[in-house]
Amino acid sequence: MILQKVEIRFEKSEAIRFISHHDLMRAMMRAVRRAGLPVRLTEGYNPRSRIVFPVALEVGIASLDEVAEIEFDQWLDTQDVFRRLDSVFPPGLKLKAVQEMPLLRAGRIPERVLYLLHLREAGIQLPPESLPKLLEAATLPFQRPREKRVQNVDLRPALSALKLTMDDLEIEVRPSQNGTARPLEVLSLLTGQPLESLKRVRVTKTRMDLRFP
């Protein structure tokens, strides 16, 4: 039985931006165990801690605003949860906030995600007129590489806004059931450069807004 559900907001630093989402999940689970928090376990032969990440962060991207949702079978003061978790958080992760959530089993989905692409340090300049031109397009077809195939996707429905800030690029994405637009994919369309040649561009997720479906 769920007696409490909390949202954990944290940062994933540049130093560990290349660890996988699974490694991030394991690091969070270890921190929760070390903090002695009363996390509810799943049922079945292989019970696991009820820690849910609404979105899997791509490898290579640092984040100023990551989220985990944790279910407890006891009630705790959120300040106590913060104090206990903060004392055992692993290097490279920084705890920002803990707040209570409604006692609903349904998880949340992303409503809006903001990214910053550090173009100046990568030596990339975008003409300002290229941004509205991309946003005015009815469709933005992109060939997304997979392990053994190429997936044809349209990035336009998920791309909400583009903005140049001190020559760096801010991208606002609104994911849906039809998919999302990844930051370097958008940059590939703006520059005409292949995705592989843009892997040097550093990307930071700056904000994530969530909603219940």
With a cut of 90, say whether residue 153 has pLDDT above it.
Answer: yes
Percent of the chain with pLDDT over 90: 84
Structural domains of the chain, count:
2
Query: What average pLDDT does the segment 100-111 reach?
Result: 88
With a cut of 90, say whether residue 46 has pLDDT above it.
Answer: no
With a cut of 80, say whether residue 143 has pLDDT above it.
Answer: yes
Q: Among 66, 101, 136, which residue terminates a domain?
A: 101
The pLDDT-based confidence of 117 (bands split at 50, 70, 90) is: very high
Residues 6 or more apart in contact with residue 157 via CB below 8 angstroms: 176, 178, 179
* Angle formed at CA 113 by CA 201 and CA 24, multiple of 5 degrees: 70
* Angle formed at CA 47 by CA 41 and CA 53, multiple of 5 degrees: 65
The pLDDT-based confidence of 41 (bands split at 50, 70, 90) is: confident
My answer on whether 97 and 113 are in the same domain is no
Q: Among 51, 83, 101, which residue terminates a domain?
A: 101
My answer on whether 181 and 204 are in the same domain is yes
The pLDDT-based confidence of 130 (bands split at 50, 70, 90) is: very high
State the Cα–Cα distance between residues 114 and 175, nearest whole angstrom.
Answer: 11
pTM: 0.93
My answer on whether 93 and 118 are in the same domain is no
* Angle formed at CA 81 by CA 79 and CA 86, multiple of 5 degrees: 95
Beta carbons of 109 and 210 less than 8 angstroms apart: yes
Range list of H helices, the chain: 21-34, 78-86, 119-122, 130-136, 183-191
With a cut of 90, say whether residue 2 has pLDDT above it.
Answer: no
My answer on whether 133 and 81 are in the same domain is no
Query: What average pLDDT does the segment 102-117 reach?
Result: 91
Long-range Cβ contacts of 90-95 (<8 Å, 24+ apart): 90/27, 90/30, 90/31, 91/15, 91/16, 92/12, 92/13, 92/15, 92/16, 92/19, 93/10, 93/11, 93/12, 93/13, 93/16, 93/27, 93/28, 93/31, 94/10, 94/11, 94/13, 95/8, 95/9, 95/10
Q: Which domain holds residue 52?
A: 4-101
My answer on whether 133 and 176 are in the same domain is yes
The pLDDT-based confidence of 96 (bands split at 50, 70, 90) is: very high
pLDDT of residue 177: 81
Higher pLDDT, 42 or 87: 87
Query: What average pLDDT does the segment 134-153 reach?
Result: 93
My answer on whether 9 and 78 are in the same domain is yes
Q: Tell me the pairing of strands 61-72 and 202-211.
A: parallel
pLDDT of residue 116: 98
Please write the tens of the pLDDT for every residue from 155-195: 999 999 999 998 899 999 999 888 899 999 999 999 999 99
Residue 194 Ramachandran class (φ > 0 left, ψ -120 to 50 alpha, else beta):
beta
pLDDT of residue 148: 85
